[in-house]
Protein backbone atom coordinates (compact mmCIF):
# COMPACT_ATOMS: atom_id res chain seq x y z
CA UNK A 1 0.00 0.00 0.00
CA UNK A 2 2.78 2.39 0.97
CA UNK A 3 4.53 1.60 -2.30
CA UNK A 4 1.41 2.50 -4.25
CA UNK A 5 1.12 5.78 -2.35
CA UNK A 6 4.73 6.62 -3.12
CA UNK A 7 4.20 5.89 -6.82
CA UNK A 8 1.09 8.12 -6.84
CA UNK A 9 3.01 10.95 -5.18
CA UNK A 10 5.84 10.58 -7.69
CA UNK A 11 3.39 10.72 -10.61
CA UNK A 12 1.59 13.76 -9.16
CA UNK A 13 4.86 15.55 -8.41
CA UNK A 14 6.12 14.80 -11.91
CA UNK A 15 2.95 16.17 -13.48
CA UNK A 16 3.12 19.29 -11.29
CA UNK A 17 6.78 19.80 -12.20
CA UNK A 18 6.07 19.49 -15.93
CA UNK A 19 3.16 21.94 -15.82
CA UNK A 20 5.04 24.25 -13.46
CA UNK A 21 7.99 24.50 -15.84
CA UNK A 22 5.63 24.95 -18.79
CA UNK A 23 3.69 27.76 -17.10
CA UNK A 24 6.91 29.40 -15.92
CA UNK A 25 8.31 29.35 -19.47
CA UNK A 26 5.12 30.91 -20.81
CA UNK A 27 5.16 33.60 -18.10
CA UNK A 28 8.74 34.54 -18.95
CA UNK A 29 8.47 34.66 -22.75
CA UNK A 30 4.89 34.95 -23.91
CA UNK A 31 3.46 38.01 -22.19
CA UNK A 32 6.08 40.47 -23.36
CA UNK A 33 5.29 39.35 -26.91
CA UNK A 34 1.60 39.87 -26.15
CA UNK A 35 2.30 43.47 -25.08
CA UNK A 36 4.12 44.15 -28.34
CA UNK A 37 1.29 42.63 -30.39
CA UNK A 38 -1.48 44.48 -28.56
CA UNK A 39 -0.13 47.99 -28.00
CA UNK A 40 0.88 49.17 -31.44
CA UNK A 41 1.74 52.56 -32.88
CA UNK A 42 3.36 53.91 -36.05
CA UNK A 43 6.36 51.64 -35.39
CA UNK A 44 4.16 49.01 -37.03
CA UNK A 45 5.00 50.69 -40.35
CA UNK A 46 8.76 50.90 -39.75
CA UNK A 47 9.50 47.77 -41.69
CA UNK A 48 11.61 48.28 -44.81
CA UNK A 49 9.94 45.41 -46.65
CA UNK A 50 6.46 46.57 -45.64
CA UNK A 51 7.34 50.09 -46.81
CA UNK A 52 8.51 48.74 -50.16
CA UNK A 53 5.28 46.78 -50.59
CA UNK A 54 3.25 49.90 -49.80
CA UNK A 55 5.41 52.10 -52.00
CA UNK A 56 8.05 54.66 -51.15
CA UNK A 57 6.87 56.93 -53.99
CA UNK A 58 4.08 57.14 -56.55
CA UNK A 59 6.15 55.05 -58.95
CA UNK A 60 6.56 51.82 -56.99
CA UNK A 61 4.78 49.41 -54.69
CA UNK A 62 1.02 49.40 -54.33
CA UNK A 63 0.98 53.18 -54.83
CA UNK A 64 1.75 52.75 -58.52
CA UNK A 65 -1.38 50.58 -58.85
CA UNK A 66 -3.43 53.14 -56.92
CA UNK A 67 -2.18 55.98 -59.14
CA UNK A 68 -2.95 53.92 -62.23
CA UNK A 69 -6.50 53.50 -60.94
CA UNK A 70 -6.61 57.27 -60.40
CA UNK A 71 -5.90 57.78 -64.09
CA UNK A 72 -8.47 55.12 -64.89
CA UNK A 73 -11.09 56.97 -62.85
CA UNK A 74 -10.35 60.15 -64.80
CA UNK A 75 -10.79 58.34 -68.12
CA UNK A 76 -13.99 56.67 -66.89
CA UNK A 77 -15.44 60.04 -65.83
CA UNK A 78 -14.42 61.65 -69.12
CA UNK A 79 -16.18 58.94 -71.14
CA UNK A 80 -19.22 59.09 -68.87
CA UNK A 81 -19.34 62.87 -69.20
CA UNK A 82 -19.04 62.79 -73.00
CA UNK A 83 -21.81 60.22 -73.33
CA UNK A 84 -24.10 61.87 -70.75
CA UNK A 85 -25.82 63.91 -73.48
CA UNK A 86 -26.77 60.69 -75.24
CA UNK A 87 -27.80 58.70 -72.17
CA UNK A 88 -29.36 61.69 -70.34
CA UNK A 89 -27.67 60.58 -67.10
CA UNK A 90 -26.76 63.19 -64.53
CA UNK A 91 -23.00 63.60 -64.16
CA UNK A 92 -21.02 65.42 -61.49
CA UNK A 93 -19.65 68.84 -62.39
CA UNK A 94 -16.23 68.25 -64.06
CA UNK A 95 -14.53 71.05 -62.10
CA UNK A 96 -15.80 69.64 -58.79
CA UNK A 97 -14.74 66.13 -59.78
CA UNK A 98 -11.21 67.17 -60.80
CA UNK A 99 -10.78 69.25 -57.63
CA UNK A 100 -12.00 66.35 -55.49
CA UNK A 101 -9.71 63.95 -57.32
CA UNK A 102 -6.69 66.23 -56.75
CA UNK A 103 -7.40 66.33 -53.00
CA UNK A 104 -7.94 62.57 -52.85
CA UNK A 105 -4.83 61.95 -54.95
CA UNK A 106 -2.71 63.94 -52.50
CA UNK A 107 -4.29 62.13 -49.54
CA UNK A 108 -3.85 58.77 -51.26
CA UNK A 109 -0.14 59.32 -51.87
CA UNK A 110 0.22 60.58 -48.29
CA UNK A 111 -1.82 57.72 -46.78
CA UNK A 112 1.29 56.06 -45.29
CA UNK A 113 1.90 59.18 -43.19
CA UNK A 114 -1.81 59.68 -42.41
CA UNK A 115 -2.26 56.10 -41.19
CA UNK A 116 0.88 56.46 -39.08
CA UNK A 117 -0.67 59.48 -37.34
CA UNK A 118 -3.92 57.57 -36.77
CA UNK A 119 -1.99 54.69 -35.19
CA UNK A 120 -0.10 57.11 -32.93
CA UNK A 121 -3.29 58.89 -31.82
CA UNK A 122 -4.90 55.56 -30.95
CA UNK A 123 -1.72 54.53 -29.11
CA UNK A 124 -1.65 57.83 -27.20
CA UNK A 125 -5.24 57.33 -26.01
CA UNK A 126 -4.49 53.83 -24.73
CA UNK A 127 -1.25 55.10 -23.18
CA UNK A 128 -3.14 57.83 -21.29
CA UNK A 129 -5.53 55.21 -19.88
CA UNK A 130 -2.64 53.01 -18.78
CA UNK A 131 -0.69 55.95 -17.35
CA UNK A 132 -3.65 56.70 -15.09
CA UNK A 133 -3.27 53.18 -13.68
CA UNK A 134 0.49 53.60 -13.34
CA UNK A 135 -0.04 56.77 -11.29
CA UNK A 136 -2.66 55.10 -9.09
CA UNK A 137 -1.11 51.68 -8.57
CA UNK A 138 2.58 52.49 -9.09
CA UNK A 139 2.84 49.61 -11.56
CA UNK A 140 3.31 49.39 -15.28
CA UNK A 141 -0.05 48.48 -16.83
CA UNK A 142 0.77 45.64 -19.22
CA UNK A 143 0.36 41.90 -19.60
CA UNK A 144 3.82 40.95 -18.35
CA UNK A 145 3.39 42.91 -15.10
CA UNK A 146 -0.16 41.64 -14.68
CA UNK A 147 0.84 37.98 -14.68
CA UNK A 148 3.74 38.72 -12.33
CA UNK A 149 1.40 40.50 -9.92
CA UNK A 150 -1.15 37.66 -10.06
CA UNK A 151 1.47 34.96 -9.46
CA UNK A 152 2.90 36.87 -6.52
CA UNK A 153 -0.47 37.43 -4.89
CA UNK A 154 -1.70 33.91 -5.54
CA UNK A 155 1.70 32.53 -4.50
CA UNK A 156 1.92 30.37 -7.60
CA UNK A 157 5.42 29.32 -8.68
CA UNK A 158 6.84 26.39 -10.60
CA UNK A 159 7.99 24.87 -7.30
CA UNK A 160 4.68 24.97 -5.40
CA UNK A 161 2.19 24.55 -8.23
CA UNK A 162 -0.45 21.88 -7.65
CA UNK A 163 -2.32 21.36 -10.90
CA UNK A 164 -4.96 19.30 -9.07
CA UNK A 165 -5.93 22.18 -6.75
CA UNK A 166 -8.32 25.09 -7.40
CA UNK A 167 -5.37 27.46 -7.77
CA UNK A 168 -3.72 25.05 -10.19
CA UNK A 169 -6.86 24.73 -12.29
CA UNK A 170 -7.27 28.52 -12.37
CA UNK A 171 -3.60 28.94 -13.32
CA UNK A 172 -3.92 26.35 -16.09
CA UNK A 173 -7.15 27.87 -17.39
CA UNK A 174 -5.73 31.40 -17.53
CA UNK A 175 -2.48 30.26 -19.14
CA UNK A 176 -4.31 28.39 -21.91
CA UNK A 177 -6.61 31.38 -22.38
CA UNK A 178 -3.66 33.74 -22.66
CA UNK A 179 -2.05 31.50 -25.29
CA UNK A 180 -5.30 31.86 -27.23
CA UNK A 181 -5.06 35.60 -26.61
CA UNK A 182 -1.66 35.72 -28.32
CA UNK A 183 -3.16 34.07 -31.41
CA UNK A 184 -6.08 36.52 -31.42
CA UNK A 185 -3.87 39.62 -31.21
CA UNK A 186 -1.33 38.22 -33.67
CA UNK A 187 -4.20 37.91 -36.17
CA UNK A 188 -5.28 41.47 -35.30
CA UNK A 189 -1.71 42.67 -35.91
CA UNK A 190 -1.66 41.11 -39.38
CA UNK A 191 -5.14 42.41 -40.26
CA UNK A 192 -4.16 45.97 -39.34
CA UNK A 193 -1.19 45.71 -41.70
CA UNK A 194 -3.49 44.48 -44.46
CA UNK A 195 -5.87 47.40 -43.94
CA UNK A 196 -2.92 49.82 -44.01
CA UNK A 197 -1.95 48.41 -47.40
CA UNK A 198 -5.53 48.94 -48.59
CA UNK A 199 -5.62 52.57 -47.42
CA UNK A 200 -4.68 54.19 -50.81
CA UNK A 201 -7.46 52.28 -52.56
CA UNK A 202 -9.94 53.11 -49.78
CA UNK A 203 -9.20 56.82 -50.08
CA UNK A 204 -9.41 56.68 -53.87
CA UNK A 205 -12.81 54.97 -53.66
CA UNK A 206 -14.26 58.24 -52.30
CA UNK A 207 -13.86 59.81 -55.74
CA UNK A 208 -17.08 58.18 -56.95
CA UNK A 209 -20.34 57.57 -55.19
CA UNK A 210 -20.59 54.07 -56.66
CA UNK A 211 -17.29 53.03 -55.02
CA UNK A 212 -17.46 55.03 -51.76
CA UNK A 213 -18.93 51.98 -49.96
CA UNK A 214 -15.41 50.49 -49.95
CA UNK A 215 -14.06 53.39 -47.85
CA UNK A 216 -16.91 53.07 -45.35
CA UNK A 217 -16.32 49.34 -45.02
CA UNK A 218 -12.54 49.78 -44.75
CA UNK A 219 -12.74 52.57 -42.16
CA UNK A 220 -15.24 50.70 -39.94
CA UNK A 221 -13.13 47.56 -39.90
CA UNK A 222 -9.85 49.41 -39.30
CA UNK A 223 -11.42 51.50 -36.54
CA UNK A 224 -12.80 48.40 -34.84
CA UNK A 225 -9.36 46.75 -34.87
CA UNK A 226 -7.68 49.85 -33.42
CA UNK A 227 -10.41 50.49 -30.83
CA UNK A 228 -9.71 47.06 -29.33
CA UNK A 229 -6.47 48.53 -27.97
CA UNK A 230 -8.41 51.09 -25.92
CA UNK A 231 -10.80 48.43 -24.59
CA UNK A 232 -7.85 46.23 -23.59
CA UNK A 233 -6.29 49.17 -21.71
CA UNK A 234 -9.53 49.66 -19.77
CA UNK A 235 -9.79 45.95 -18.93
CA UNK A 236 -6.17 45.87 -17.72
CA UNK A 237 -6.84 48.99 -15.64
CA UNK A 238 -9.75 47.23 -13.93
CA UNK A 239 -7.71 44.06 -13.35
CA UNK A 240 -4.88 46.02 -11.74
CA UNK A 241 -7.37 47.75 -9.46
CA UNK A 242 -8.38 44.39 -7.94
CA UNK A 243 -6.62 43.11 -4.84
CA UNK A 244 -5.90 39.49 -5.74
CA UNK A 245 -6.07 37.98 -2.28
CA UNK A 246 -5.14 34.30 -2.47
CA UNK A 247 -7.73 33.49 0.23
CA UNK A 248 -10.63 34.93 -1.76
CA UNK A 249 -11.88 32.44 -4.35
CA UNK A 250 -14.27 34.94 -5.93
CA UNK A 251 -11.39 37.28 -6.77
CA UNK A 252 -9.59 34.44 -8.51
CA UNK A 253 -12.57 33.77 -10.75
CA UNK A 254 -12.85 37.50 -11.44
CA UNK A 255 -9.32 37.26 -12.79
CA UNK A 256 -10.41 34.40 -15.08
CA UNK A 257 -13.35 36.59 -16.16
CA UNK A 258 -10.94 39.43 -16.91
CA UNK A 259 -8.83 37.20 -19.16
CA UNK A 260 -11.99 36.05 -20.94
CA UNK A 261 -12.98 39.70 -21.39
CA UNK A 262 -9.61 40.35 -23.05
CA UNK A 263 -10.25 37.48 -25.47
CA UNK A 264 -13.78 38.77 -26.21
CA UNK A 265 -12.71 42.43 -26.61
CA UNK A 266 -13.16 42.17 -30.37
CA UNK A 267 -16.73 40.93 -29.93
CA UNK A 268 -17.48 43.81 -27.54
CA UNK A 269 -16.22 46.32 -30.11
CA UNK A 270 -18.26 44.73 -32.90
CA UNK A 271 -21.40 44.88 -30.77
CA UNK A 272 -20.62 48.49 -29.90
CA UNK A 273 -20.36 49.26 -33.62
CA UNK A 274 -23.71 47.54 -34.27
CA UNK A 275 -22.22 44.41 -35.79
CA UNK A 276 -19.66 46.13 -38.00
CA UNK A 277 -16.04 45.12 -37.85
CA UNK A 278 -13.82 42.16 -38.53
CA UNK A 279 -13.64 39.06 -36.36
CA UNK A 280 -10.28 38.07 -34.88
CA UNK A 281 -11.61 34.93 -33.24
CA UNK A 282 -9.13 32.25 -34.29
CA UNK A 283 -11.47 29.47 -33.21
CA UNK A 284 -13.96 30.55 -35.85
CA UNK A 285 -11.21 30.67 -38.50
CA UNK A 286 -10.24 33.97 -40.08
CA UNK A 287 -13.20 36.35 -39.87
CA UNK A 288 -14.98 37.80 -42.82
CA UNK A 289 -15.74 41.47 -43.43
CA UNK A 290 -19.11 42.64 -42.19
CA UNK A 291 -20.80 45.94 -42.75
CA UNK A 292 -24.19 47.50 -42.44
Query: What's the confidence (pLDDT) of residue 160?
Result: 63
Contacts of 146 (CB under 8 A, 6+ apart): 31, 236, 239, 240
> To the nearest 5 percent, what fractions of the chain are helix, strand and coil?
80, 0, 20
Q: Which residues of the chain have pLDDT under 50?
A: 1-2, 284-292
- pLDDT value at residue 196: 93
Angstrom distances, CA of residue 134 to CA of 128, 138, 182, 262: 10, 5, 23, 19
What pLDDT, on a 0 to 100 scale, did the predictor assign at position 240?
Answer: 81
The pLDDT assigned to 278 comes to 60
Output the pTM of the full model: 0.80
Q: What is the pLDDT of residue 286?
A: 40
pLDDT of residue 194: 93
For the chain, which residues make up each domain, given as ranges? 2-57+110-290
* pLDDT the model gives residue 152: 67
Amino acid sequence: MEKNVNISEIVINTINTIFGNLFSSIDEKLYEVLDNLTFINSDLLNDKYFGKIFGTSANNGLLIIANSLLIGFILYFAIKYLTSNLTFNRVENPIQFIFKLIILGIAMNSSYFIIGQVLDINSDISMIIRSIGEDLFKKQICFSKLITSINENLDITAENLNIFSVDGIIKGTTTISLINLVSVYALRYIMIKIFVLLSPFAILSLSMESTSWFFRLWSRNLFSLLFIQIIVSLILLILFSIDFNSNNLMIKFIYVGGIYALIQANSFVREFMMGSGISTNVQNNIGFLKGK
